[in-house]
Structure 1
Amino acid sequence: MLRHDLFDVDRLLGSSLAWLLTTIGSAAVFALAVTVGARLGAGSRAGATGAAFVTALALLPMHRRLNTAVGRLVDRDRYVVDARVQQFVRAVRDGTAEPEEAEEMFRTVLADPGVRLLLRRPGAGDVYVDLTGSPVRLDDAAAPEAGTPVRVPLSSGGTEVGLLVLGVSSARRLRRAREVALAARLPIEVSRLRLELREALRDVRDSRTRLVSTAAEERRRLERDLHDGAQQQIVSVGMRLRSTQRRLEPGSAEHRDLDAAVQALEATIAELRRLAHGLRP
């Protein structure tokens, strides 16, 4: 492991150098403001006060610019990483990249092929899934040669929504992983929302399948009830009426009434059969 990877010297050096240059720049601004004030005829006290005010206004913007410039020289890798992450975020926002490519982006910018981006499954407590929605055990998330995995929590609105599991651990890599995760919160959040949407659609499909299966079973039950229950009873009544009709004088009023009743029963049986066939899925 490199020494600067342990102590993060480049970051400390860049910050110290930026503040040193800021101090020198502030002194130059103060001296220039005092000189200008003296030439304008302001008293020494008023000139010093005005120079201090001007210096205070210029201090923070000057430090930010110097810190950025020094950082690009001293810790160039950090700014290269930031540029790649911002490029990926813009691509996701423009629709030219998929948010699920965030895991590969993390592996590239962190130079760690063992990085895993895990999301907490909605409504499932501490169950984590990968970007395809497949459940993942945290103990199996890191590469076998990585040893104890280092996990960087990912939060949204104060709630943990996932984990970034590093395959290679160091203080510098851990800090950079936190910075990258913060900069890439848009793709991570979009991935999480898309995962929730897929889970919701899967629940809807499962519910629809259950409803269709239940409806089909109910139709089959009703068909059996019509065939084995009411239809058989009507057939039995019709046969008894026919038997009674044969004992009557053909052409009599009772004979004709029974014949009409049997025909009505036959029409009812035909209607029940039609309904039973129409209920089949």
Structure 2
Amino acid sequence: MKPIPSTFDLSGKVAIVTGSSKGIGKAIARALAESGARVVVSSRNQEAVDAVAAEFADAGLEAIGIQCHVGDAAGRERLIAKAAETFGRIDILVNNAAINPYYGPLEGSDEGVFDKIMEINVKAPWLLSNLALPHMKQAGGGSVINISSVEGLRPGFGLGLYSATKAALIALTQNQAKEWGRHGVRANVVCPGLIQTKFSEGLWADEALVARFTKQLPLGRIAQPGEMAGLVLLLASDAGSYMTGGVYVADGGYMVTG
């Protein structure tokens, strides 16, 4: 393995990544571990996170799996407490876990769906970040990275509630940056475009839709999960030490199309 540039080296740091048993979260967790971080892999299923942690260990990386449903208060508290107990500190929190239980017009949904999507996509990152903050203060600083979406910047049809939560997450991140900068804690948000994951399969599995979509993209294709990891690594490391409150898009050029 090539030496890690010093500004990207996360040796001695501890990172928690929610929703990291697969897809974008798993790719992010692996990139952080490959850069030297001790990583907490987390999702709703203990067997799934244990499998990812074992896979990382087989590659010579340091990781543990901690089950956490981010919508559960006790689960959130346990995740942060166990991570701190195991590794002695928390430096990086990547709020990646999200849901999209409804596709359709705004008036076609109901309050139950609204409450559920807001709870997971906005409330959980807010509360998890609050729980991690004292540990970051104690460590002398830290990095919160929230995974939003281009839908939070430019809503598409049928994703109104999801778009609203991702826009709220952007505003939350910017407020975190304003309030926590004095503690040396940075907060940034990443807005992926269409990524080929299980989460978005309902979109990319439609070949005709993908063909129309990619024809308009400057890069002419949808992304793979690993293509989000480099940006998160930048924001997590000293390479991004002066970056806070930023909204960073990785979308193949979607935002510059007409």
Does 1 or 2 have the higher relative contact order (CA < 8 Å, sep 6+)?
A: 2
TM-score for both structures, normalised by structure 2? 0.22
Specify the structure having the higher radius of gyration (Cα). 1
TM-score (normalised: structure 1):
0.21
Looking at secondary structure, tell me which structure has more strand per residue: 2
